[in-house]
Amino acid sequence: MFHLWQGFSIGAVIIGALVIVLVLYAVLRFRRKGDNIPKQSQYHIPLELFYTVVPILIIFGLFAATLVVENKETANPKTNVTIDVNAFQWGWKFTYPGSNALVYGQTTQNPEMVMPVNTNVHINLTSSDVIHGFYVHAFNFSRYALPGVLNQFTIRAQSTGTYFGQCTQLCGLYHSLMWFRVKVVSPSAYSAWLTTFNNPAAAAAVKAANKTTAQQTSSVVPSKPATTKYGR
């Protein structure tokens, strides 16, 4: 998307410069003072065809470039890594199908979504209550989390590190504290992290978290975050 924007901007500068040059040429070339009307002419067919056809071709080019980039942006290539992301007032739940891995947290608890680097990661994004926004600043990427709608997309992190994420849709009292982190690790570290959840306690935690989310959704009453050193 960034490269598409760069191309559009460069094209706009070129066309704008051409228009300015033509305007200045007309101002300077035909600047003679007086009341005499310049010689008039019409029906310059080649010129009229040129300034009609060229803009149409430019529009088709912009459309084609946008179509190619949008198809890449919305593509969901096959991958073995899937993360279910659930947004709720006012926190996030990250579960990993096929394992007991679960990360659950509210507001300033900063729940952390772990994913492998240089790997296509399929995200299933949902909301338990109202409209939320899944946004990772470093990825320049955002998607709506909509109640009753499954939003699917694929992201691929280029380098390891921990990146800040937040909700971008006004969703209630603690919206400004609805943060999360994305931790990108090596594939081996990711596999090792998943294995740490292979125990009965982790399975019980997944069951409890799912029960809490289900209760919250059915009651339509958001959970109040616990007191932290950052606020209430």
Task: Quickly state the pLDDT bin for 43 (edges 50, 70, 90).
Answer: confident
Q: Locate tokens 């409890």: which residue? A: 208
Mean model confidence pLDDT for the chain: 83
What number is the average pLDDT over the span 125-151?
Answer: 90
Q: Judge: domain 81-219, CATH 2.60.40.420.
A: yes
Task: Quickly state the pLDDT bin for 223 (edges 50, 70, 90).
Answer: very low
Cα–Cα distances in Å, from 27 out to 7, 20, 24? 30, 10, 5
> Residue 97 contacts by C-beta under 8 Å, 6 or more apart in sequence?
82, 84
Q: Letter for the amino acid at 132?
A: H
> Residue 87 contacts by C-beta under 8 Å, 6 or more apart in sequence?
125, 126, 127, 128, 132, 134, 145, 167, 178
What number is the average pLDDT over the span 108-129?
Answer: 90
Sheet strands side by side (includes 112-116): 112-116, 179-185, 161-166, 132-136, 141-145
Task: Quickly state the pLDDT bin for 199 (edges 50, 70, 90).
Answer: confident
User: 77-87: per-residue pLDDT in tens?
Assistant: 788 899 999 99
pLDDT at residue 210, as a whole number = 66
User: 83-99: per-residue pLDDT in tens?
Assistant: 999 999 888 999 998 88
pLDDT at residue 2, as a whole number = 83
Q: Letter for the amino acid at 59?
A: I
Q: Does residue 133 surpass a pLDDT of 90?
A: yes
Delimit the domains of the chain by residue range.
2-74, 81-219
Bridge partner list, 181: 112, 164
